[in-house]
Homo-oligomer: A and B are copies of this chain.
Amino acid sequence: MTITITAFETSPDRGRGLARDMGVRWALEEVGQPYDVRLVTFETMKQPAHLAIQPFGQIPTYEESGLALFESGAIILHIAERHGGLLPQDGDARARAIAWMFAAVATIEPPIVERSMAMLFEKDESWFAARQAMLDQRLGRKLDALAARLGEGEWLDDAFSAGDLLVINVLRRLGPSGFLNGYPALTAYVARGEARPAFQRAFAAQLAVFVAASGG
């Protein structure tokens, strides 16, 4: 069975592993599944062939014999269900890990994306500074809650799970902003994720794509 995912030919993050293929690569590395990558551009990802498997014209997608999936959370859950290592065996612990997967993309990520969208598209607007204070506060409340729950724990529940993978992957988007500096426990949590060999392999793979595309 060949697994094929899609990723940016030239990622706007310049190879820092902040695009959404990163979590899928990381999950595949955690479970030891090799995969192929089909590169798309901002142009080809809006064309019918890509829209047929990703209705919103985004990356990543996941294909294996006859099945095409989109949404990185769903792809990672699919990988975790098919292969051992990313979800606990115990039913209750498994359900809690999946709750963290949803929390990552539905509760923690939106205020992070909203803040970075404002940085990208509203920096020159008259309202930027006033709104930014509000967005920082909104995001801060989520991170306060996450830090309180993590406490001094190594991972969110007992063992590392797909829940940690997605939460860490989402927190990494804050890296360049320095916003996480006010949260030493979360900074250390992200660093523990980044130190995993599977993360390192995934990071190197996405960086290699960017270096190749930029003629490096």
Contacts and interface: CB of A to CB of B under 8 A. Distances in A.
A188 interface: no
A146 B55 contact: yes
Contacts of A99: 69-71, 74-75
B110 A110 contact: yes
A66 interface: yes
A124 interface: no
A133 interface: no
Interface in A79-116: 92, 95-96, 98-99, 101-103, 105-107, 109-110, 113-114
A69 B126 CA distance: 42
A149 interface: yes
The 10 closest A-B pairs by CB, nearest first: A127-B127, A105-B106, A74-B99, A71-B102, A55-B149, A73-B102, A74-B102, A110-B110, A67-B92, A56-B145
22 contacts: A51-B145, A55-B145, A55-B148, A55-B149, A56-B107, A66-B92, A67-B92, A71-B99, A71-B103, A72-B102, A73-B106, A74-B101, A75-B99, A77-B102, A78-B95, A78-B98, A102-B105, A105-B106, A114-B114, A121-B134, A126-B126, A126-B127
